[in-house]
């Protein structure tokens, strides 16, 4: 994995930036175990990422250099927005330490399921509203302010705000940004694509969802990338049910992406979600042989990230923003799902 010199290869959660992911899941091929500790730091093989580049990088360097689209650059980040005192905060707020992945899956009783439905529904409504703001000239900071206000108006807390020091209430990832983009002063341009990642903390439960939106007149290649990424998520959800191996999610996504020669980002994963922001299982979006089966009443996210070129991320100096190393476009979609008797219920739908 190609990173700045200060980083090491890591398997990262969908919201972990440059932070080691911790999990009890036996990811045997990647683990560095610590004696006497339930947790294990997970590191990703450089070879796997380089192999993915050889297989899926369809653009040569000259094509990228001649691309009219400018590389993404950091803008100005405005101060954090305030949350009213009466709104409950997640436990990690005011700590710059990332909590990591909580040990054990999120499995809910009837009350918990209803709370998850409520938080998922609100997250979906906020995301839908935010998507309507996507047009040339709108800044991602403006999107953040609207998202923040809608979340607190509904008595919820924007989960990203204060998570490991993250300074905003939503992630906005434009063009080559794979994930964790920090909203700033950059205005959206005609032809951009943007992923908006919304998580809300309502009544003690997190609902987590994201989608990639088209801004203005987007070229056919970008449209296809966005369409196939959404199809990957839908196909992965369709195979979920009690007793199904979690690793089938990665195979389903990878198989579909292969048909269109898109790369699958390996360094960021789905995760259990509920009373905590990130829990077991670790959901890999590529082919793998890891253990674990889905359980009735369990909630987790699936959030594939596909690229048109390199799958290797580079982390900006802000320690969050992950961009493709070659500047090629990336798209992502995400839902929180609940495992029910006959399959999976999508909780993050309006």
Residue list, annotated binding site = 180, 197, 208, 271, 278, 303, 334
Four-residue CA torsion sign, 83, 88, 93, 99: negative
Q: Please write down the HEC assignment for all residues of 262-299.
A: CEECCCEEEEECCCCCCEEEEECCCCCCCCCECCCCEE
Whether 182 and 320 have beta carbons less than 8 Å apart is answered as yes
Strands 205-214 and 330-332: unpaired
Binding-site positions for a divalent metal cation:
197, 208, 271, 303, 334
DSSP 125-164: HHHHHHHTT-STT-BHHHHHHHHHHHHHHTT-EETTTTGG
In whole angstroms, give the CA distance from residue 98 to residue 204.
18
Binding-site positions for substrate:
180, 278
Whether 250 and 284 have beta carbons less than 8 Å apart is answered as yes
Whether 294 and 246 have beta carbons less than 8 Å apart is answered as yes
């Amino acid at each position: 994995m190609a990173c700045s010199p200060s980083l090491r290869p890591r398997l990262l959660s969908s919201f972990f930036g440059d932070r080691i992911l911790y999990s009890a899941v036996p990811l045997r091929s990647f683990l560095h175990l610590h004696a006497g500790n339930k947790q294990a730091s997970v590191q990703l093989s450089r070879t796997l990422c380089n192999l993915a580049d050889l297989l899926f990088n369809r653009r040569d360097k000259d094509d990228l250099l001649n691309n009219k689209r400018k590389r993404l650059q950091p803008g100005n980040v405005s101060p954090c927005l305030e949350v009213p005192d009466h709104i409950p905060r997640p436990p990690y707020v005011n700590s710059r330490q990332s909590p990591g992945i909580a040990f054990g899956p999120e499995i809910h009783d009837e009350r918990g399921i209803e709370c998850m439905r409520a938080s998922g529904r609100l997250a979906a409504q906020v995301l839908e509203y935010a998507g309507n703001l996507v047009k040339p000239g709108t800044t991602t900071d403006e999107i953040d302010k609207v998202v923040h206000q809608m979340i607190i108006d509904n008595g919820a807390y924007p989960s990203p705000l204060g998570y490991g020091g993250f300074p905003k209430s939503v992630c906005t990832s434009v063009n080559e940004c794979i994930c964790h983009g920090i909203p700033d002063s950059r205005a959206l341009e005609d032809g951009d694509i943007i992923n908006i990642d919304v998580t809300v903390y309502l009544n003690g439960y997190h609902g987590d969802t994201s989608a990639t939106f088209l801004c203005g007149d987007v070229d056919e290649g970008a449209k296809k990338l966005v369409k196939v990424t959404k199809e990957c998520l839908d196909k992965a959800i369709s195979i979920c049910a009690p007793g199904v191996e979690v690793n089938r999610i990665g195979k389903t996504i990878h198989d579909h992406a292969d048909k269109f020669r898109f790369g699958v980002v390996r360094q960021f994963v789905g995760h259990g979600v509920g009373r905590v922001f990130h829990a077991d299982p670790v959901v890999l979006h590529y082919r793998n042989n890891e253990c674990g089966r889905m359980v009735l009443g369990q909630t987790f996210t699936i959030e594939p990230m596909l690229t048109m070129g390199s799958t290797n991320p580079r982390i900006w100096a802000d320690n969050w923003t992950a961009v493709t190393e070659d500047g090629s476009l990336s798209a992502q979609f995400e839902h929180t799902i609940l495992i029910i008797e006959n399959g999976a219920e999508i909780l993050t739908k309006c």
